[in-house]
Amino acid sequence: MKPKYLGKHNSLSRNSSLDRISRKESRKDFSEFESYGLDIWNAYEFSYLLNGKPKIVVLEISIPSNSKYTIESKSMKLFLNSFFNKNFANQAEVINILTKRISKKCNLGVKIVSKSSFKTFDRNKYTNKSGLLVYKGFRSICPVTSQPDWGNIYIYSSSNTLNKKEIYNFLFSLRNHGGFHENCVEKIFLYIKETFSIDHLEICGRFLRRGGIDINPIRSSQKKLFFTNFREFNQ
């Protein structure tokens, strides 16, 4: 993907645009891909004017994984930043506008809520679950900037017979893989599902933020998701 905004001056008029990415294009290397899931974007630096006074809120933007399109991250950051000097009578009004604009670009409804706090990963709650693996220090390469992306990968399955060493070796092999967060998680999901023939599998990638946003894809073989939106210490 050719960089459109990176390293370039961006006027406020351009900042209001959203660029979308075809999910079909990002999955072209997969023979088939079927799953449930979400891409959870946490935007920590969203600001607007509430009755003329500056307001800063944290947004949780959930984009369904079966949407036809997703949003290019730099354009999302610029789009959100374009609201900093716009005045609204209440927060519901601005969230409604954001929801409509982003949903239209994704060609499917997204959900946006403001956050006052985040849950942490409750290890006591999940430790006794069979088939739960956590891989720390996952690394991949952004296909736009060629810079490293870092995160932790959470793997839940209905089986406790997963070969931890084999899976960790595969995750380690992706350290120079060029792919967006969503692509990496889907690649991991397919590899484990096809290698171990698991009925219930769910992958959650918790990636470090860039430019005030972290993107956390979840892919599951079942509609009811095991993981929710929690926050890592280093996020």
User: What are 34-67's pLDDT values in tens digits?
Assistant: 789 999 999 999 999 999 999 999 999 999 999 9
pLDDT recorded at residue 28: 78
| Structural domain 14-115, CATH architecture | 2-Layer Sandwich (3.30)
136 near 150, Cβ under 8 Å? no
How would residue 141 be classed by pLDDT, with cut points 50, 70 and 90? Answer: very high
Catalytic status, residue 142: yes
List the structure tokens of 34: 């079927």
- Identify the active-site residue in 19, 39, 122, 142: 142
Considering the entire predicted model, what is its pTM?
0.89
**123-220 carries CATH number 3.30.1130.10:** yes
Q: Where are the domains of the chain?
A: 14-115, 123-220
User: What are 193-211's pLDDT values in tens digits?
Assistant: 989 888 889 999 999 999 9
Catalytic status, residue 199: no
- Identify the active-site residue in 149, 184, 204, 214: 149
What is the pLDDT averaged over residues 154-162? 85
